[in-house]
Amino acid sequence: MRSCRLITCLILLCAWARPFNEPAAATGTLDLSGPSLPLEAGGVVGKPLALGPSEALLAAMPGVELQRRAYGESHAALVTARGPRENHPPAVCLRSGGFEVMERAELEHQGSCMVHLLVRRAGKISHFYYAYLHRGGASARGTCGYWTQVAAATWRRLTGQPGTWSTLQVMDPSSARARAVLTELIRRTK
């Protein structure tokens, strides 16, 4: 069992340590060809949000694209990146931002999976929904599992395909509104 873990770690290390498989790597640019946050969602025109200090650091990393928009009280973010470090589970950033993750639930919805986190900071409770998206042909599919995404992106890299994927997330005081906005955003990336 221990040797199986070691082999898995070595494969992941080799896949992500080597140069990008993406053709644009030779020119020094990386086409992430990921989705974009729409101008409108939930019947509300979105307003761009400024990046916080840690988000600006993440967005400055090579191979990372980060977008933030407010659709009314729903704050959405879309991170498209090339690797497991840049596209880590959102709970990592939430905890480092002072949020306490109180509950976690995986929800199936129309063939996609989304995660609901009930979070609290400074006594204020919010609902945080997210889904990982990867491109498969002309469609986008959502999955709940971080390690599933890492494995799929690793396989794509090893087979010469782009190893990028996106994390789509929405935070709102209202659970129903956050879920509805995320559902619409997932649908609109297809």
Per residue in 71-91, pLDDT tens?
999 999 998 887 666 667 888
Alpha-carbon distance of 85 to 24, in angstroms, equals: 21
Q: Are 117 and 91 in contact (CB under 8 A)?
A: yes
Q: How far apart are the first and last CA of the chain?
A: 39
pLDDT tens sequence across 88-141:
788 888 998 899 999 999 888 666 788 999 999 999 999 999 988 766 533 455
Domain ranges of the chain: 2-188
pLDDT at res. 82: 72
For the domain spanning 2-188, the CATH number is 3.40.1000
Mean pLDDT of the residues in the chain:
77
pLDDT tens sequence across 5-63:
544 444 444 444 444 444 444 334 444 456 789 999 988 999 999 998 888 888 888 88
Contacts of 18 (CB under 8 A, 6+ apart): none
- Does 187 or 176 have the greater pLDDT score? 176
